[in-house]
């Protein structure tokens, strides 16, 4: 789909004209609005016809909406993965903190002689 779009030099109406690669930087809300507009245009272009007269315009609109849909899905998945990674990192930090506390406590429980011998061994 992206190869076809680049070969066609497909452009999107967003604050002027933008290319396929520019869509990766467009805010998700704006991409959603563009998608809704494209699907509405496609429905209107197809209309209620007894003849199967599929024109090039509806194919372009379909390709544009498919590209936007794919980009939104990828970006939402990336956002979800980043949030999950953030939660895992926070949990790891908490566990490391607890381990450090336990190590400190085990050092506190040692006698002075044991601590002195540890210092001497360093």
What does the pLDDT look like over 17-74, one tens digit per residue? Answer: 888 888 999 999 999 999 999 988 888 877 666 665 556 667 888 899 999 999 999 9
Q: 6: which 2 tokens? A: 């680049």
CB atoms closer than 10 angstroms to residue 2: 13
Whether 27 contacts 80, CB under 8 Å: no
Q: What is the mean pLDDT of the chain?
A: 88
Total domains in the chain come to: 1
- What are 110's strand-pairing partners? none
- Is the pLDDT at 12 greater than 70, yes or no? yes
Angle of CA points 41, 79, 94, to nearest 5°: 165
Confidence of residue 102 (pLDDT cuts 50, 70, 90): very high
Q: Which residue range is the domain that position 64 belongs to?
A: 2-121
Please indicate whether residue 97 or residue 16 has the higher confidence score (pLDDT): 97
Intra-chain end-to-end CA distance of the chain, in Å: 64
Phi-psi region of 12 (alpha: psi -120 to 50; beta: other; left: phi over 0): beta
């Amino acid at each position: 789909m992206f190869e076809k779009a680049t070969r066609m030099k497909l452009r999107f109406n967003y604050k002027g004209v933008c290319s396929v690669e520019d869509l990766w930087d467009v805010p998700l809300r704006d991409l959603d609005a563009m998608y809704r507009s494209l699907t509405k245009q496609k429905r209107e272009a197809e209309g209620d016809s007894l003849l199967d007269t599929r024109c090039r315009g509806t194919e372009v609109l379909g390709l544009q909406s498919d590209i936007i849909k794919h980009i939104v899905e990828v970006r939402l998945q990336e956002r979800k993965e980043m949030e999950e990674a953030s939660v895992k990192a926070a949990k790891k930090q908490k566990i490391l903190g607890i381990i450090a506390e336990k190590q400190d406590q085990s050092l506190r429980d040692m006698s002075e002689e044991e601590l002195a011998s540890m210092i001497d061994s360093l």
